[in-house]
Amino acid sequence: MDTALRDAYIELHEKYFPGTELPIAFEVGGATDEVEKAPAPKGWRCFVCDLVKVRNGKSLVFSEDSIGCRGGRFYLGYDAERFPDFRYFLSTGKPGEMEGERYKQTPEIVDELDRGTPRIPTKGRSIVFKRWDNLTDADNPDAVVFFARPEVLSGLFTLANFDRADPYGVIAPFGAGCSSVFTFPWLEQQSEEPRTVLGMFDPSARPCVPLDVLTMAFPMKKFTRVVGFMEESFLTTGTWGKVMKKIDRSNKRLVDA
């Protein structure tokens, strides 16, 4: 990627979202030189929890043996099919055998959901995650993912819709936490008019993110456009200046917490 874009966004981020964390980015099949490999899990481990290290500045490369969660293996594309009895796991469970998550009302609804879920072709390929400021000219990210609180999300949401005539520049599809930061952003990147993905509503993934934080993931081709028009958007108005005061208050509360 053009590192001038990286540097330009860092400057804009501090100007309009001061004191908040930079986004992370991922690339399927990206360059792995000098990137630490995510360790193989010793047991079950949520992939979203692993991203805390990336958010803190450590670049990581994930492969099939790095993912300890069955949902993560599916949503990152390493398993093409669900595990046996997934239809019960996501819904009602099976008495005496399996406790259901009860995220869907019936196993039949799960079946229909799964039939419409695209499979991601990552088998045999690594996935590199880096914080935005760690990207180099050897990187070509597929998507950029923000972990943000409501005031920042309001800005990101409005930017995602700024250059669209329709009101649907942001989608919030149902899925595991990892689907909102990888699967759906990757799928949108393949589109001619990619939408931004609001997520991290999965109750199972919520323990891995801070209080009041959701995610907003921009397909890279969309994010490149966003960086180009930020300085002509609402961010330059007094309205956003008032929101920035709330961002400052929010930052102070995080420090005091």
User: How far is Cα 77 from Cα 7, in angstroms, rounded to an integer?
Assistant: 31
User: How far is Cα 88 from Cα 106, in angstroms, rounded to an integer?
Assistant: 8
Say if residue 256's pLDDT is above 70. no
Q: Is the pTM of this model over 0.85?
A: yes
Burial class (CB within 10 angstroms; exposed 0-12, middle 13-18, buried 19+) of 101: middle
| Dihedral Cα 101, 103, 106, 109, nearest 10 deg | -130
Mean pLDDT of 104-115: 96
- pLDDT classification of 255: cutoffs 50, 70, 90: low
CA separation, residue 213 to residues 24, 70, 110, 149, 153 (Å): 15, 24, 27, 5, 9
Looking at residue 253, what is its pLDDT?
78
User: How far is Cα 16 from Cα 10, in angstroms, rounded to an integer?
Assistant: 10
Mean pLDDT of 121-126: 90
Spatial contact of 242 and 172, defined as CB atoms under 8 Å apart: no
Say if residue 115's pLDDT is above 60. yes
**Mean pLDDT of the residues in the chain:** 94
Per residue in 16-41, pLDDT tens?
999 999 999 999 999 898 899 998 88
User: How far is Cα 189 from Cα 218, in angstroms, rounded to an integer?
Assistant: 8
What percentage of the chain carries pLDDT values higher than 70? 99
Mean pLDDT of 86-111: 95
∠ CA 201-122-3, rounded to 5°:
80
Per residue in 49-87, pLDDT tens?
999 999 999 999 999 989 988 889 999 999 988 989 999
Burial class (CB within 10 angstroms; exposed 0-12, middle 13-18, buried 19+) of 42: exposed
Per residue in 194-239, pLDDT tens?
999 999 999 999 999 999 999 999 999 999 999 999 999 999 999 9
Cα maximum dimension of the chain: 60
Mean pLDDT of 163-188: 97
